[in-house]
Amino acid sequence: MGRLQDQVALITGAAGGIGRATALRFAAEGAKLVLTDIDDTEGAQTLQQVQAVGAEVIYVHADVSRGEDCQAMVAAAETAFDGLHILFNNAGIMHPEDGDAMSTEEHIWDLTMAINLRGVYLGCKYGIPLMLKSGGGSIINTASFVALMGAATPQLAYTASKGGVLAMTRELAVIHARQNLRCNALCPGPLHTKMLMDFLDTEQKKQRRLVHIPMGRFGLATEMADAALYLASSESSYVNGTEFVVDGGITAAYVTPAD
């Protein structure tokens, strides 16, 4: 029996990076999966890889910034698998034109908030009723280490959006704590994924980020998938409302506790 045997999990942003790695990890542990993304070509690749593991899985095109898409992806989970136990609000962007307050254009700010923050809200808005109907479960929201500290390379909209995810996660955790529904924020450190490598598009930018990481390397999407598996499983049954930080030690090195 897998650690997620017969649990229904919905993963947004499943076309690559953390989403794809987590889909494969959850599949190996017996979950039934609903995968969503806007990149249907790469989404189909994830679908094929999960099918190769032998898991029950469907793929749904969904733009998480659109309420009707989020409503549809949850409806698909109910139609296909008659429930929902794990909601991984993972979809996000890191726009190359996201900089400081002076250089970041309003439309970049709005786009980032729409996907990174509104998308989590909409996933919960439509996902939570089905999760409660299914007896509860685990919500995992992808935040970031930059929700806890400033980024070395300016990315103001991204940082603000992830801070919002963290605050929303805490409140959801408190609201639903007695309904057998937990909510935690996964806070990855800098990862060797396409999203970050596209943003850190010069060796100088990469080194500026790496110098702050005590372990001296970027994290891997598979390492985040392992963390998500823990938060999704019954092994974390008393873990609720946390900043689940998986960052190679970066926040330990640079965040000083209050006196």
What's the rounded Cα separation, in Å, for the pair 41 and 119?
A: 21
126 is a catalytic site residue: no
Complete edge-to-edge strand list for the sheet that includes strand 8-11: 57-61, 32-37, 8-11, 86-89, 137-142, 181-188, 243-246
> Please, is 111 exposed, middle or buried when counting C-beta atoms within 10 Å of its C-beta (0-12, 13-18, 19+)?
middle
Q: What are residue 8's DSSP bridge partners?
A: 32
Phi/psi of residue 244, nearest 5 degrees = -85, 95
Q: What is the DSSP letter of 177?
A: G
Which is the catalytic residue, given 158, 230, 238, 254?
158
Supply 131's token pair. 């999760």
Could you give the residue ranges of the DSSP H alpha helices within the chain? 17-28, 40-53, 67-81, 106-113, 119-133, 156-175, 194-199, 203-210, 221-232, 250-254
What secondary structure letter does DSSP report for 114?
Answer: I
Q: What is the residue whose two structure tokens read 């509860």? A: 136
Positions marked catalytic: 158
